[in-house]
Structure 1
Amino acid sequence: MKRIIIASMTLLMGFTACNDMLDLQPLSEISQSDYFQTETDLQLFSNPFYNNMLNKSPYDRQSDLYVCQNLPDEMLGGTKRTVPASGSGWTWTDLRRMNTLLAYADQCKDENAVIKYKALTRFFRAFFYFEKVKRFGDVPWYEVELGSADGELLYKARDSRELVMTHMMEDIDYAIANLPNKKKETSSPYRVNKYAAMALKAQFCLYEGTYRKYHQLSLEGHDYKYYLEQSVAAAQLIMEDSDYPYKLYSTNHPESDYLTLFAEENANMDEYILAIKFDYGLSIYHNATAHTLVPTQGRPGLTRKMVNTYLMKDGTAFTNQSGWQEMSFIDEMKNRDPRLSQSIRTPGYTRIGTTIVLPPDLSTSVTGYQPIKFVQDPKASGGNVDRNDRSTCDLPVYRYAEVLLNYAEAKAELGTLTQADLDKTINLIRRRVGMPDLNMGTANASPDRYLSEAETGYPNVAGTNKGVILEIRRERAIELNQEGFRFNDLVRWKAGYCIGQSTYGMYFPGPGAYDLSGDGKVDVTLYANGTPKPTVSSGVAYEIGKEIILSGGDKGYIYYHKNIERTPFNEVRDYLYPIPINERSLNHNLTQNPGWNDGLSF
């Protein structure tokens, strides 16, 4: 059993698995007179939801667009993905806590507090189940606190995702109706308010609608269009709210605003709807800066595919240029979407708060495209920001840009998108960085080949809105880079084949000296395998085939993972995770997800 200290008392919570639940001490055996009597009690009891459930490291989630030194099992595929004995996301501790609060909140004498914290709890219950549905598909729905006497419910079968989604909609609509909505109550972006509930609804309805559309999943109840319409409506509530209007952060500096937004100590209240607070004085940290700068922390890098996705500054596709496949780093970085130079080190890069020009560091990035998003001023965090786990910039959970992207995508998939819709969503995002507007007619008349081919894009996108859907996906990948969305986006779009694609980096035509910073000085010297290491007056020398692996042997793209065994994405199996063996052994009513063999035959 797990112990959770609340108001100096210990409540036995449990619920990590069915057998944990059978060993619980019923809450009724603990005197209720000391609990749930005041708003403070309800707040203290619900505070762990924030810490336990919100993702505090979205910046390191790998995909076809962003990789680290060690690839996750999802990207290795094949036998690297097995059915675990336990865990793997099949945990229910937080849900039990939610249902406990909902069961006893009425003991509080403050009716307004009861409504507020029930709404908060139902927000987190919808959040909890969204994570479960994404991971497992069908899951058991529980809305009451269970104890050892509830064996029939403990060992019930999985409920359909339609039933779970229906209850999630009930929860989130209650949260929207009852969470704080006055500006004075929502001045902090660190507490859930009605706008965060709207953002969650727009997010999970977009996920469900597109998942059902592209997986051709038809269930009794609502169709994919219903969920897309609900996503549009929820996003629109935020976009048209006059009490507390959100907007994109901008200081009219398109060359730096995007980067600054994510490096600031404090979440921007105009754009961040919900954020996670980090603070040097309180010793609350994350690891984003060191993750990028310290060679032992993952060596992350954007892939060549991601870099190719960024448009030219004039709005044309980079991949329409002659010779783009073998373009040098200096040349490929010229005249690009300004978010590229605010996402990775490009020629002329200087870190926030410094004046020294820094080239990409190939010793800390396996692709050479070294990320700078969430990298703080070196003077931040008491001057220790470069150390492991010493970053203090707040991390976004929901921000206004994502809401705009959700709205545009949902309407495009429904076939109801207009140019006016693009002007108040995608084009606002583009204007922040000085990019030209997206024209719907032009995009649909000539869909970008790079985004539609199987090797680099989404061949299953079709219809009259094909071009604009592809462009919205491009915008989503770029704007939400390193915010933890990409893997789940590929799942809902039924584009899992992207996960197994090559993780190429920078292109090098062969041995030689290269200037990567644009200052005229040599930053990297590559020398042929087996030859003596040259003496260099500046920069670092790397041996091809040993310290730097290239896709073509002595030339080509950096390909750190070239010799790592990988298996293509399993279209039957890999869109859902397996139910752990121990859970199915305890509860024979739990069926296994398709394609996963756990050796159990009942």
Structure 2
Amino acid sequence: MKKHIKIFILGIVSGLLLLGCKKDFLDRYPLDNIVDQNFWKTENDLKLYANSLYPTYIVGFGTDFADGTVQPWGVNVNTLVYGDVITDNAAPLTYSKVGTDEYISHLSGTNESGGWNFTGIKQLNFFLDNYKRADIPEATSNIYLGEILFFKAWDYFNKVKLFGDVPWLTHSLNVNSPELYEARTPRAAVMDSVVMILNKAITCLPAKGSEESNRINKDMAQFLKSRIGLFEGTFRKYHPELGLDANKFLKYSTEASEALLNKYSLVQGNAGTVYNNLFATESYRGNTEVILWREYSAALTYGAAFSRYFAQNLRHQFGATRNLVDEYLCTDGKPISSSPLFQGKTSIQTEMQNRDPRLTQTIANFGTYNLASTTIQGANNAPLPNLPGMSGNKCPTGYRLAKWFYNSPVDWDRVTSGQQAAPVFRYAEILLNYAEAKYELGEANQSVIDQTINKLRSRVGMPGLTVGAEPTDTRLDDIYRNYAGGVINPLLREIRRERRVEMAFENTRWDDLMRWKTGRFIDIPVEGIKFVQSQFPAVVVNRDIYLSAEGYILPYFKTLPNGRKFNESKAYLFPIPVADILLNNKLVQNPNWEK
């Protein structure tokens, strides 16, 4: 079994605790002077500084109660799981205003809010300005240089996704540094710099298996390059108004993916359980699919209250959407619009028959994924979901999430020391990145599809995809026609379908909608399960819930009667906080956010 790669934050915590115990040392050298007077001498100094940045970038499920909110998305700090609640995959109890004209957080937020925060970049640059002062071999210092450049590339990538043009900072700065009051650096220059430093990181970082335990290696940086290349390449292609070269970034993605192909493999098992089991574990040791993960430690009472509150459906109180459920193929490889195996939508039980096994491992059919104990608050979310009108935390669509559900009362009772492990980089994404980038380059032949899409389908016993014989899907074609300006090539449609299904609730959907320029998919009416009164005798229609003409639950019938409206004129980028623009008159607001 191939050696996995993991990030284990315990070393970071231990190192910081040890530093914190040196009271006399800290009394003698104030914290803001330590680096200048006593740091940057040894390898351990470089390691300790790098360690302090790991939790900022390898977030996993967060720590402690993990109940913070991340802006500008307004999502729980555990964006890995909850990031999809602002997309067409999910419906939280309170609808998201992201992407609509109702989003006004930038008007009232303080400076350096809403994602426009460069604290992490300044900390990374502080290392870059000082690490060469250590009297150690260059080969040793380069290891930590690679880690810092990896984090810097990731940080800037996230900022470009949010804002487009952003200031490129190369040195550590103070509050009066003139660089803080310059105009933004054009997107093209920033992304070229991102790739440059990421390539340097790949050169500096140790190869897989030769790195010190629990630290970053080359494969992780290649993974990030694959993700960045695909995002930027497709964003440029489908936003031609930018006038930027898409193909060079698509090639970056394929090159990075090829560096990882066949070094890892998809975890195999029973087709009916293997996918769900992948996300419900306390360890990925020996896992051949997970490239980067965050582990927690019971011994040091270091963990996150994720499994407990996920089982309660407390964070966001959300459910999946019918729009997502309808995307899953039937077991003959055909969509519900054409497959004779589809049993109809008379109930959740009928619509889940004869479907891609990942559907029932992502969305809980009634009577499945029942809680092992009823002593936990929210236990009435199973075997039936908590619809409005019932007691407890709500599942407003009736489609309760099964993915990420860790049915362990022991872990629930650990509360803030929960040990469920968080997979951050997964090989499945590399396969999807490669298939899509090759398609966009005009190189997606049957061999490519067999190496990628068909491996994912084979794991769960689904028929393979044949290039040139893609199934007809009038339902999905109509969605593209009505919400994206036209029908797309059937092969691309199936590659995108596979990505949505495989990566559901892993915080990739928003980025996908933005780069494909399909933000208006958010406008698709939000519907839930077909409501069957006999299954919910206490729920009163037109008081507790409201139904469509077809009998589907409409979770926002009262609160959002006209539906959510994505504003394509501006919402593919977020606005800069007004407070920052007032501080720097060279900053220009993103288009159409000025009003």
Residue 173 (structure 1) shift: 0.3
Residue 282 (structure 1) shift: 3.1
Residue 257 (structure 1) shift: 0.9
Structure 1 letter corresponding to 2:352: M
Bigger Cα displacement from structure 2, 565-574 vs 324-333: 324-333
Classify 1:26/1:292 alpha carbon distance in 2 versus 1 (closer, same or farther; 3 Å). Answer: closer
Alignment match, 1:228: 250
SS at 1:564 equivalent: coil
49, 53, 74: which one pairs with 1:49? 53
SS at 1:396 equivalent: strand
Structure 1 letter corresponding to 2:222: M
Alignment match, 2:522: 499
Residue 50 (structure 1) shift: 2.3
Alignment match, 1:519: none
555, 578, 591: which one pairs with 1:581? 578
Whole-angstrom CA distance in 2 between matches of 1:41 and 1:457: 57
Alignment match, 2:283: 266
Classify 1:506/1:183 alpha carbon distance in 2 versus 1 (closer, same or farther; 3 Å). Answer: same
How many residues align? The count is: 534
Alpha-carbon displacement from aligned partner over 1:74-96 (angstroms, at most 9, x marks no partner): 16x22343533330011111111
- Report sequence identity in percent: 32
Residues 1:478 and 2:501 are matched in the alignment: yes
Residues 1:335 and 2:354 are matched in the alignment: yes
After TM superposition, list the pairs within 5 Å mapping 1:460-475 onto structure 2.
460=485, 466-475=489-498
Scaled by the length of structure 1, the TM-score of the pair is 0.82
Alignment match, 1:21: none
SS at 2:260 equivalent: helix
Whole-angstrom CA distance in 2 between matches of 1:479 and 1:210: 19
SS at 2:423 equivalent: strand
Whole-angstrom CA distance in 1 between matches of 2:482 and 2:275: 25
Residues 1:293 and 2:311 are matched in the alignment: yes
Classify 1:434/1:305 alpha carbon distance in 2 versus 1 (closer, same or farther; 3 Å). Answer: same
Whole-angstrom CA distance in 1 between matches of 2:529 and 2:428: 29
Alignment match, 1:113: 140
Structure 1 letter corresponding to 2:48: L
Alignment match, 1:318: 336
Question: Any conservation in 2 of the 1:206–1:228 contact (CA below 8 Å)?
Answer: yes
228, 234, 238: which one pairs with 1:210? 234
Whole-angstrom CA distance in 2 between matches of 1:296 and 1:108: 48
SS at 1:253 equivalent: coil
Whose RCO is larger (CA < 8 A, sep 6+)?
2
Question: Any conservation in 2 of the 1:451–1:458 contact (CA below 8 Å)?
Answer: no
Question: Any conservation in 2 of the 1:232–1:407 contact (CA below 8 Å)?
Answer: yes
Whole-angstrom CA distance in 2 between matches of 1:192 and 1:460: 42
309, 315, 321: which one pairs with 1:303? 321
After TM superposition, list the pairs within 5 Å mapping 1:126-525 onto structure 2.
126-148=153-175, 150-151=177-178, 153-185=179-211, 191-219=215-243, 223-240=245-262, 245-250=263-268, 252-267=269-284, 269-294=287-312, 296-321=314-339, 326-347=345-366, 349-351=368-370, 359-363=383-387, 364-381=394-411, 384=413, 391-443=418-470, 446-454=471-479, 459-460=484-485, 466-508=489-531, 512-514=533-535, 524-525=536-537
Question: Any conservation in 2 of the 1:548–1:560 contact (CA below 8 Å)?
Answer: yes
Residue 30 (structure 1) shift: 5.2
Question: Any conservation in 2 of the 1:504–1:559 contact (CA below 8 Å)?
Answer: yes
Whole-angstrom CA distance in 2 between matches of 1:491 and 1:384: 39
Alpha-carbon displacement from aligned partner over 1:109-144 (angstroms, at most 9, x marks no partner): 232331001111000000000110000000000011
Classify 1:544/1:390 alpha carbon distance in 2 versus 1 (closer, same or farther; 3 Å). Answer: farther
Classify 1:230/1:419 alpha carbon distance in 2 versus 1 (closer, same or farther; 3 Å). Answer: same
Alignment match, 2:67: none
Question: Any conservation in 2 of the 1:288–1:375 contact (CA below 8 Å)?
Answer: no
Structure 1 letter corresponding to 2:422: L
SS at 1:238 equivalent: coil
Residue 396 (structure 1) shift: 1.9
Residue 351 (structure 1) shift: 4.6
After TM superposition, list the pairs within 5 Å mapping 1:60-79 onto structure 2.
60-61=82-83, 62=85, 63-74=87-98, 77-79=100-102
Alignment match, 2:8: none
Alpha-carbon displacement from aligned partner over 1:458-493 (angstroms, at most 9, x marks no partner): 745667xx1111111111111111111111110111
Question: Any conservation in 1 of the 2:527–2:552 contact (CA below 8 Å)?
Answer: yes
Whole-angstrom CA distance in 1 between matches of 2:143 and 2:482: 44
Question: Any conservation in 1 of the 2:280–2:404 contact (CA below 8 Å)?
Answer: yes
Whole-angstrom CA distance in 2 between matches of 1:456 and 1:391: 45
Question: Any conservation in 1 of the 2:478–2:487 contact (CA below 8 Å)?
Answer: no
SS at 1:262 equivalent: coil
Cα RMSD, aligned residues only:
2.8
Whole-angstrom CA distance in 1 between matches of 2:35 and 2:351: 68
Structure 2 letter corresponding to 1:572: S
Alignment match, 1:551: 548
Structure 2 letter corresponding to 1:50: Y
Whole-angstrom CA distance in 1 between matches of 2:461 and 2:405: 22
SS at 2:431 equivalent: helix
Q: What 5-or-longer segments of structure 1 have no aligned partner? A: 11-24, 515-523, 526-540
Alignment match, 2:7: none
Whole-angstrom CA distance in 2 between matches of 1:585 and 1:72: 27
Question: Any conservation in 2 of the 1:578–1:593 contact (CA below 8 Å)?
Answer: yes
Question: Any conservation in 2 of the 1:291–1:299 contact (CA below 8 Å)?
Answer: no
Scaled by the length of structure 2, the TM-score of the pair is 0.83
Classify 1:201/1:457 alpha carbon distance in 2 versus 1 (closer, same or farther; 3 Å). Answer: farther
Whole-angstrom CA distance in 1 between matches of 2:483 and 2:300: 45
Residues 1:560 and 2:577 are matched in the alignment: no
Alignment match, 1:93: 119
Whole-angstrom CA distance in 2 between matches of 1:41 and 1:158: 33
Residue 572 (structure 1) shift: 0.8
Question: Any conservation in 2 of the 1:191–1:274 contact (CA below 8 Å)?
Answer: no
Question: Any conservation in 1 of the 2:182–2:584 contact (CA below 8 Å)?
Answer: yes
Question: Any conservation in 1 of the 2:330–2:339 contact (CA below 8 Å)?
Answer: no
SS at 1:319 equivalent: coil
Alpha-carbon displacement from aligned partner over 1:282-340 (angstroms, at most 9, x marks no partner): 33334543444325433221100111011111211123257877432111010111111
Structure 2 letter corresponding to 1:229: K
Structure 2 letter corresponding to 1:280: A
